[in-house]
């Protein structure tokens, strides 16, 4: 795949994610992308580039409060108790990963 074709595909993926993240059902609208680029094991260079582009986009959208995360309905955290432990697992990334990117990956 040529560099220009790859860039075009990445642009299309970013646009699709930008358009969906503000919708309450963004995770349903992006179900196939999530399956392919996030949950799946990237096999191609494009899939790996798309994964990191999505992480960057979601990190930025989270920072700008542009991701629909639910603001009404049942308060599932109401009975949550204070944290006693934090479990940090290996994410397969470099040690200098930003907190914003790690949050985007965990979303």
**pLDDT attached to residue 43:** 80
Residues 6+ apart with CB under 8 A from 7: none
Residue with tokens 């040529």: 2
Whether pLDDT at 96 is above 70: yes
To 10 degrees, the CA torsion angle through 88, 99, 82, 74?
A: -110
pTM (two decimals): 0.69
Query: Tens digits of per-residue pLDDT, 22-71?
Result: 998 999 999 999 999 999 886 888 999 999 999 999 999 999 999 988 77
* Percent with pLDDT over 70 in the chain: 92
């Amino acid at each position: 795949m040529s560099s220009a074709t790859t860039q075009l595909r990445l642009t299309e993926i970013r646009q699709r994610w930008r358009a969906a993240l503000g919708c309450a059902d963004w995770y349903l609208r992006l179900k196939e992308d999530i399956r392919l680029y996030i949950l799946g094991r990237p096999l191609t260079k494009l899939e790996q580039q798309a994964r990191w582009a999505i992480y960057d986009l979601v990190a930025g959208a989270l920072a700008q409060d542009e991701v629909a995360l639910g603001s009404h309905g049942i308060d599932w955290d109401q009975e949550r108790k204070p944290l006693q432990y934090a479990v940090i697992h290996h994410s397969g990334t470099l040690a200098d990963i930003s907190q914003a990117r790690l949050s985007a990956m965990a979303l």
